[in-house]
Amino acid sequence: MSLVPFVSVEMMMKLLLERGIEETVIELAAYVEEDFRRWPLFDKTPRVAAHSPEGVIELMPTSDGRSYGFKYVNGHPKNFRAGRQTVTAFGVLSDVDTGYPVLLTEMTILTALRTAATSAVVAKYLAPKGARTMAMIGNGAQSEFQCLAFKAICGIDTVRLYDIDPQATAKAAANLAGKGLTVVACSSGQEAIEGRRSSRPAPPTSNMPRS
């Protein structure tokens, strides 16, 4: 117990490339669904947030009585202007019995995977049965994980993409090419949802920073 296993960003990427995003998300979704079934066992401790004019840093702790874990995560929208990630995260898992940490891991990539897995689990039960097309409004990096998760878990075969930034849509479409999805770039949110172009003018573009 003198050495705590550490999963770096490099190791997480290697694991993801070896196993594949869809297979990884399917396995994560099974754990997410299992944890929802034992929801009463978990401490629902509110996240501890430190806000500043530039963003927020949060600690997110929980325990099921056997294991204790927390995630450190930030959200700084301005970072993208300097070529940095707007969100970064790491986490620790510990044994409640001894207090020993048993895992230290990056959680930036892991959070993207877990978020996509959780969304797909929800859609598995709440989306219309037999749905095969999904509108993805907001085409940042997370959208690509969402699309692949919905394909793997919900059987989606077509995604209609829209973002106020056309370059984000183009990037997402390029990254999803060859992944077994029909990808349609849309010019408005309405088109993404309804599958047809709107005769109404598009809303004004927001100048707010992207996260």
The ranges assigned to domains in the chain are 6-110, 129-211
Q: How far apart are CA 106 and CA 97, in angstroms?
A: 24
Cβ distance 134 to 119 under 8 Å?
no
Calculated CA dihedral for residues 156, 159, 164, 168, nearest 10 degrees: 100
Full-model pTM = 0.86
DSSP 3-state of 51: strand
Confidence tier at 198 by pLDDT (50, 70, 90): low
Pairing relation of β-strands 101-106 and 133-137? unpaired
Question: What confidence score (pLDDT) does residue 80 get?
Answer: 87
- pLDDT tens for residues 111-133? 999 999 999 999 999 999 999 99
Q: Where are the beta strands (DSSP E) in the chain?
A: 6-7, 48-52, 55-63, 67-75, 89-95, 101-106, 133-137, 158-162, 182-185
- pLDDT tens for residues 33-75? 999 999 999 999 999 999 999 999 999 999 999 999 999 999 9
Query: What is the full DSSP assignment across 120-168?
Result: HHHHHHHSPTT--EEEEE--SHHHHHHHHHHHHHH---EEEEE-SSHHH
Q: How far apart are CA 191 and CA 123, in angstroms?
A: 21
What tokens were used for 16?
A: 């993801």
What tokens were used for 160?
A: 């209609």
CATH H superfamily, domain 6-110? ornithine cyclodeaminase, domain 1 (3.30.1780.10)
CATH entry 3.40.50.720 includes domain 129-211: yes
The neighbour count for residue 70, using CB atoms within 10 Å, is 19
Mean pLDDT of 180-196: 95
